[in-house]
Structure 1
């Protein structure tokens, strides 16, 4: 798909297969001072996760992007995140049946967009993802479109919370 992408890896201390989390930065790239992805990755690795931070902007040659640049690059970045899922699932220390995505802002959007298309992603943690103008799976607004994994999670949670 073009340029190579740097993927930072943070390994748990013990041997064996571990669940994996792919951390996705927002539109400020990995430079955003208020969200230290590397610190978060080290902490998650200590908790037993294999953690990966793909520099998905590398694929398009950006360091950070303005909102006007997002739409034209979304499909490339989503494809890059899927490439990262492929890379992570092949790592010897990763349990390929337990791969998750987490992202902030643009990274949150990409996490949900990727999970909606890729069955290998089992969990998504999204914070401040941008939906209003972009949509997922061709939908204009999140309120009219829910990714299948979110529907399953919500229905399980609602069923557990019902009183007899």
Structure 2
């Protein structure tokens, strides 16, 4: 499995994007993996990355954006209150 770090802009803010690719080349399906309200904190990261690993084993690419970077939200359950305000970003 190859993993690369990319980035894109959202609301004028840079956002990191982890891309997980199967070893085979050519066209392949891709899945967007979205973390929950606790972001990719160390105690949750391995579980979330395991979704990408399983997809890659099946020949499916996976991408995982660090979308809290665009809103500067702190990961915790309180981030749920920010959804209506931050949804456009």
Same fold (TM over 0.5): yes
- Name the Cα RMSD after superposition: 1.9
Contiguous gaps of at least 5 residues in structure 1 = 77-164
- Corresponding residue of 1:21: 31
Q: Which has the larger radius of gyration?
A: 1
- Corresponding residue of 1:58: 69
Higher helix share: 1
Q: Which has the higher contact order (CA 8 A, sep 6+)?
A: 2
How many residues are paired up? 76
SS at match of 2:14: coil
Q: Which runs of 4+ in 1 moved over 4 A?
A: none
Q: Does 2:87 align with 1:74?
A: yes
TM-score, scaled to structure 2: 0.75
Higher strand share: 2
Contiguous gaps of at least 5 residues in structure 2 = 1-10
TM-score, scaled to structure 1: 0.43
